[in-house]
Amino acid sequence: MRVEHFRPTRHTVSTWGDDLQHGAPPSALLTRALERHTPRPGTRLTRITIDLLGPVPLTDIEVRSWIDRPGRKIELVVAELWATAPDGTRRAVARGTAWRLETVDLPDVARTSEPPLTPVAETERTDMAGVFSSFTGYIDTLDWRIVVPFGVPGPSAAWLRTDVALVEGETPTVVERLFTVADVANGIGSKLDPRHWLFLNTDLTVHLFRAPDSDWTGIAAETSVGPDGVGMTTGVLYDETGPLGRITQNVQVRPR
């Protein structure tokens, strides 16, 4: 088992409360652990699932990682984020699992049926003050390029990136960069005003049929909501080359 320790900054503060972290930084930190745990050439992470087991506090955290199912061609890597609860007990507050598969060179069969997204070079920076004016912390770190406005019928879409380092002094990998913003999909896909509604996701699952290769992440997403306040976000993920995978999230919808 590999164990590391981290201290969050105010750049991680959630949209839903100033005493907890937004889901994106913990997701990216878990992905970092999954990707860096005994990496092997000729393999890559292909499906990453993050379960948020409870509020992730703004306190020192511990990340533990291990291989749950070893294999030469297929292995399952696990990482957990541990923190101290208000009552003084330590527990896992988030968990990540990832399938790591052997890769081979097969360019002749490469294809995708996912629709293209307007290139980031053809977009302009979007001022999100009107939507997120009352929010600080993580949301302030994002550089937005809106492609399809939020709230319109069908999927909305945006390009995103953040220049705030995931871990101070490190250059993040392209997969880590993707996970610093992927959790925002439920916000992009929602038809609800975040100033009046909460739509917290309990998890995110990302399937990557291709490895990312740029700093920008494109997300085209839509959130469906049932009559009992439970929703589901589904979306397509992009880099500047094109589509690279899909994301799904469970969402709990409540009025503020």
**Domain residue spans of the chain:** 2-102+119-255
Backbone angles phi, psi at 161, to 5 degrees: -160, 165
Q: Once rounded to an integer, what is the mean pLDDT over residues 177-188?
A: 96
**How confident is residue 18, by pLDDT bands cut at 50, 70 and 90?**
confident
Q: Once rounded to an integer, what is the mean pLDDT over residues 15-33?
A: 92
DSSP letter (8 states) at residue 36: H
pTM of the model as a whole: 0.93
Distance (Å, whole) CA 180 – CA 148: 21
What is the H or E stretch that residue 229 is in?
none
Q: What count of residues does the chain have?
A: 256
Superfamily of domain 2-102+119-255: Acyl-CoA thioesterase, double hotdog domain (2.40.160.210)
In sequence order, the β-bridge partners of residue 246 are: 207, 236
Please check the confidence at residue 135 and state whether its pLDDT lies above 80: no
Kindly report, residue by residue over 205-243, the tens digit of the pLDDT. 999 999 999 999 999 999 999 999 999 999 999 999 999
Do the strands 90-102 and 197-201 form a parallel or antiparallel pair, or are they unpaired?
unpaired
Whole-number pLDDT of residue 129: 58
